[in-house]
Chain A
Amino acid sequence: MDLFPPDKILVDRVKNGDREAFTTLMERYQQKVFQTSMGFLHNQADAEDLTQEVFIKSYKSMKSFRGESSFGTWIYRITVNKAINQLRRNKLRAFAGLDAMKGEDSAADTNADAPLLRKEQKEQIKDALTKLNNAQKKVFVLFYYQELNLKEVAEVLELSPKATESLLFRARKNLQKELD
């Protein structure tokens, strides 16, 4: 038996009802999905909730995954879309004043382990990242948090590499302006 079966084989097994195969896929991708979620949400608990949602969604939708892209590309695409939806919901909650307490908690939990950057510096960076438009945000997170190269980012977002490069440049330029 293959100890490190490729994703494609695991996906086929999941489609045939093999739950263990899905656990292996989760083990392979959970940290990456979580890291990407952090790039959008900047809060550990929210990022874990999103990671959970992404895997549940991918499991339920596995039958519709035709394997035209790799499993990785597909799951990052789900992550990015779900993260953007979550940000929209967060905006609505903030607008309704539901997140006042939560914001304080999140600032505390991400600061606890690594007090290398000051709290206000972190808040300023989070603000600047939040202000990027969705397209720039997606490219930025996949490139810096997921460490995908431009071609891979382009594939996940179904963009041309040129457009991806341009979005990344504009994201960096906007962040530069916001942080100055």
Chain B
Amino acid sequence: MPHIDVELERLREKLLEMWDLVEHQLTSGREAVMNADHELSQRIIKLERKVNSFDLKIDRMCENFFALFTPVAVDLRTVLAILKINTNLERIGDTAEGMARFACKLDRPFDPELVELTNVMVMYDEALVMFNECRTAFKSEDPKLAKQIIKRDKALNKIYRKSDVVIGKYLQNNPDRIPEGLALLSIIKKLERVGDQVTNMAEEIIFYREAKVVKHRKKKKKKE
């Protein structure tokens, strides 16, 4: 394998490691929120530092790669995509941490009725699926899958848009549960952000794969 490919592979591996770490944060976050699990929340919050150090490490690796290999074409687009995906992963990590902080403040799990009405868990699961599929799309360099992911974000937005009305009504009927309702609203907002961030990452995958228009290959196909 050419030296430049060895380095690119190292970068990709590092990013996938970070992806796993943030996935762990997000998945645990679901449990922590569902069960108002303070201990688990604390662990998620602690992971933030580890995610940050991955972020710095990947930034530095990209910087070195630019300086030493002066990449062009698909190599250049790959490293640019890795840089941007890295930033988005770090932010999703922040978001997971933020949700864990809300879970910490809960003294009991959310009212199942409120959970049902808002569809928050459907939203959470959808965000997790998007997040995981995006990892697959990056790993297998699959812009088609990336495009499907972007479409899925609509479902999250739909739930998000309805949430304030639903929660508003719920709070009218349950005025003693205002902090709970507001916490849930914040979590829904954060999940909507996760959807946007995953969408950004999916766009990066399409950018770096598809700017590579392989005219030469097309020509060959025509002849066949």
Indicate whether A and B interact: no
